[in-house]
Structure 1
Amino acid sequence: MSTDTNQDIQKTALVTGANKGIGYEIAAGLGALGWRVGVGARDEQRREEAVTRLREAGVDAFGVPLDVTDDASVAAAARLLEERGGLDALVNNAGITGGMAQTPSTADLDVVRDAVETNVIGVIRVTNAMLPLLRRSSAPRIVNMSSSVGSLARQTDPDADSGPVAVAYSPSKSFLNAVTVQYAKELANSPVLINAACPGFVATDLNGFRGHRTPEQGAATAIRLATLPDDGPTGGFFDDDGVVPW
């Protein structure tokens, strides 16, 4: 159920990269809780197909044309959300792998740049555009979709499975985690709660559907963080089991 004490006020969320996989299931899960959900996606056909599926499932969904790497696209998305009445939760889910197995010594620097542009700078771009709207909410929440492979503690633990050597993807998620902490520090005296979420190893097209978890399972932590009560945590990194080490 919604954490808002005024049940007559419908909350609005924006989920980036919501046309498929984990993003779609985050949108579906929030919609099932009674939220209005903006489906952020670049591809018009896939975006509208996702909106149709969500509406058929009873979700109050609408499409948000959004390329997180493009300033004009992000600004237009913010205007659309304002026209729709505002924003209560932002889930920065859009991301790319940058090649899941790419060694530092043979790295294609363009691939690394692309991963950082989408997975980190894109998150900053969207978050900054949406912050004015979120600040007007009674209970604003931001969730950054990260990964345990971005955990420096796990990457340096010889007994932990930190995934393959991936100089683009894993460091981009470490960078994202650090950015999340910096936002939490800046917003510490505000009602905005911002956290990073690890969905686990989910079977999606990003990993060739090799994961052992379903997108619905992968969406659970993000949904919980997007609906935190006012005394919930901020500046943390979480998965289904609790706190993920930095």
Structure 2
Amino acid sequence: MQKKIALVTGANKGIGLEICRQLIANDIHVLMACRDLTKGEKAQNKLATQLTDVKKHSTLVQLDVTNKNDVQALATTWCQEGIDILVNNAGISRGVAKTVITESEEDARLTLETNFWGAWRLSRLCLAHMKATGYGRIVNISSGHGTYAKLDRHNPGYRLSKLALNGLTKMLDDEVKTFDNILINAMTPGWVRTHLGGLRANRSVEEGADTAVWLCLNDDQQIRGGLYKDREIFPW
């Protein structure tokens, strides 16, 4: 049986890198998508200290999800060959100390372009192959800060990008509702010790990545169109 191929964006550090590690360990060929291939190579070498034959089971891909040329290059190479699993992990947060009044429009736009529009572009590209084969998994890395239950005035670009990503997840699920084996979900990793989360965070990258990998490997057709944390439904 041919190996499944997974594309993981923002793959050179943090949760993205850990998702790559766990998918490779589960015999998935991983496309490690990074804006900076030098950083990507360092990340791949780090995985090689933990797993065997990493460079045989993973491929570095130049991809800035906000760069349409990068996305088009991906479309004419790997998307035609077929991506079975997409993890929309690339994300930024530029307005942590700002509010809906004080965050600049420029910062908010860039955050939405990365966290939301990048995920939408890649999902549309990958769904063509998934529909053709009748199989696919899309996992959107979201945040509890993007749910109505936790919405407030702080860090608006980030919160709105994740709120929109959650909505996109539901809409994509409706797009493929007639396909039993194309499953699209979002997950929140919680507060994780990464460059974005900081060293004070209470969760490890292994804990943060676990639910994403679980959704990538999920074969339960009832698990679709939801937001999950720790393998359980999380309030929207």
Q: TM-score, normalised by structure 1?
A: 0.88
Secondary structure, in 3 states, of the residue corresponding to 2:156? coil
* CA distance in structure 2 between the aligned counterparts of 1:241 and 1:16, rounded to whole angstroms: 21
Equivalent in 45, 54, 61 of residue 64 of structure 1: 61
Q: Is 42-51 or 208-217 further displaced after alignment?
A: 208-217
**Counterpart of 2:232?**
242
Once the two structures are TM-superposed, the CA of residue 143 in structure 1 deviates from its matched residue by 0.2
Once the two structures are TM-superposed, the CA of residue 213 in structure 1 deviates from its matched residue by 0.8
**Counterpart of 2:148?**
152
**Counterpart of 1:109?**
105
* CA distance in structure 1 between the aligned counterparts of 2:77 and 2:233, rounded to whole angstroms: 35
Once the two structures are TM-superposed, the CA of residue 137 in structure 1 deviates from its matched residue by 4.0
Equivalent in 189, 192, 204 of residue 194 of structure 2: 204
Aligned residue pairs, count: 231
Q: Does 1:88 align with 2:89?
A: no
**Counterpart of 1:183?**
172
**Counterpart of 1:38?**
31
Q: Which amino acid is 2:3 matched to?
A: Q
* CA distance in structure 2 between the aligned counterparts of 1:37 and 1:115, rounded to whole angstroms: 25
Q: Which amino acid is 1:211 matched to?
A: A
Q: Which amino acid is 1:9 matched to?
A: Q
Secondary structure, in 3 states, of the residue corresponding to 2:66? coil
Q: TM-score, normalised by structure 2?
A: 0.91
Instruction: Deviation per CA, 1:190-240: give whole Å up to 9, x if none.
Output: 232110010110011113333111111100010011111052411100000
Q: Which amino acid is 1:155 matched to?
A: L
**Counterpart of 1:5?**
none
* CA distance in structure 1 between the aligned counterparts of 2:41 and 2:74, rounded to whole angstroms: 15
**Counterpart of 2:137?**
141
Tell me if the contact between 1:139 and 1:230 (Cα under 8 Å) persists in the aligned partners: no
Structure 2 alignment gaps of length 5 or more: none
Instruction: Deviation per CA, 1:135-189: give whole Å up to 9, x if none.
Output: 3445310000000111102337xxxxxxx82111112111110111111111111
* CA distance in structure 1 between the aligned counterparts of 2:118 and 2:103, rounded to whole angstroms: 21
Runs of 4+ in structure 1 over 3 Å off: none
Once the two structures are TM-superposed, the CA of residue 241 in structure 1 deviates from its matched residue by 5.3
Identical columns (%): 39
**Counterpart of 1:15?**
8
With over 3 angstroms needed to count, the CA separation of the structure-2 counterparts of 1:105 and 1:38, relative to structure 1, is same
Secondary structure, in 3 states, of the residue corresponding to 1:206? coil
Equivalent in 92, 98, 101 of residue 94 of structure 2: 98
Q: Does 1:124 align with 2:120?
A: yes
Once the two structures are TM-superposed, the CA of residue 79 in structure 1 deviates from its matched residue by 2.8
Once the two structures are TM-superposed, the CA of residue 68 in structure 1 deviates from its matched residue by 0.3
